[in-house]
Amino acid sequence: MPVIALAGSAGSPGVTTTALALLLSWPLEPERRVVLAECDPDGGSVLYGLLQGSLGDRYGLKNLSVAARKGELTEAFWRQLVDMTEDGKAAQAAGGRLLLPGLTDPAQAAALAPAWEQLADLLAGIERHSTYPHDVLIDLGRSGAFGPSGVLAQRADLLVMVARSTMRSIQSVQMRIEALQERVGEIGLLLVDEGPYSPGEVQRLLKAPVLATLPYRPSLARVLSEGEEQPSRFARSELMRAVQGATTPLRQRAALRRARLAPRGGPVPGGGEVGAGAW
């Protein structure tokens, strides 16, 4: 049950677009689910991007603020999820790929002050509140790893920075990593291959592991960011195949770090145990 948070910085590609691609590509075993929580305090983009306003604002993060103040966030959380089918459209029946849409106005973030800690607790231990095992993706946007929502990054098994292989993006991400490492520990990189720097060079410059590289394909990315019509065989496109391949190192790195940080012989956060001879 990995909990993986994704964040960006100035000059970085769309974190939400990357997170949506992961949601739609995430490998699911029978009876297993994956949840993407769009938690960018600057405002979400899925409702009026990929979903083209088809759901209005009936679902989403903003509806958890009152529930948090009443101590009812866990119950409310499940009612705010939207099921996403393989082609990126919203469906009503509960399925394996679930989305918590983000804020529709950055001003709504102030009302969520009591909710961030409760939401972090829920996502870190989500299997205690469901009959199904869940993997969790958290979209923190460009600023959500800091401030009150930063607790989501701290409680995640792995924080992944999404970056372009350009000088501007690398320099910006470097400052973010330096500011975050003391609080969250190890940070991984998901690199969009747009600039002149190779994954090895980026890894050396930022002193953080490049876990996967994605091709720069803006026309395909707009299907997810803007809700543009899908080309034929979109799910098997170069971009989506690369994203599907990226799920393996992300899951493995998060699971390894989750196990490493668990008390020896004690419970792994969110469920399970680490045996005395595990390490």
Q: Where are the domains of the chain?
A: 3-252
Buried-state track 246-274, b at ≥16 Cβ within 10 A, e below 16: bbeebbebbbebbbeebeeeeebbbeeeb
Return the pLDDT at 86: 54
Correct CATH for 3-252 of 3.30.450.40, 3.40.50.300, 1.10.760.10, 3.40.190.10 = 3.40.50.300
CB of 104 within 8 A of CB of 44?
yes
Q: What are the DSSP E strand ranges found in the chain?
A: 3-7, 33-38, 82-84, 90-91, 97-100, 134-139, 158-164, 187-193, 210-215
Return the pLDDT at 150: 96
Instruction: State the Cα–Cα distance between residues 151 and 167, nearest whole angstrom.
Output: 29
Return the pLDDT at 11: 63
Return the pLDDT at 277: 25
SS3 237: coil
Name the pTM for this structure.
0.89
Instruction: State the Cα–Cα distance between residues 237 and 274, nearest whole angstrom.
Output: 39
Number of neighbouring beta carbons within 10 Å of residue 279: 9
Provide the token pair at 91: 């469906």
Instruction: State the Cα–Cα distance between residues 65 and 221, nearest whole angstrom.
Output: 31
Buried-state track 192-202, b at ≥16 Cβ within 10 A, e below 16: bbbbebebeeb
Return the pLDDT at 175: 93
Return the pLDDT at 43: 87
Provide the token pair at 20: 């949506």
Number of neighbouring beta carbons within 10 Å of residue 147: 11
Return the pLDDT at 29: 82
Question: Residues in the chain with pLDDT < 70?
Answer: 11-13, 85-95, 263-279
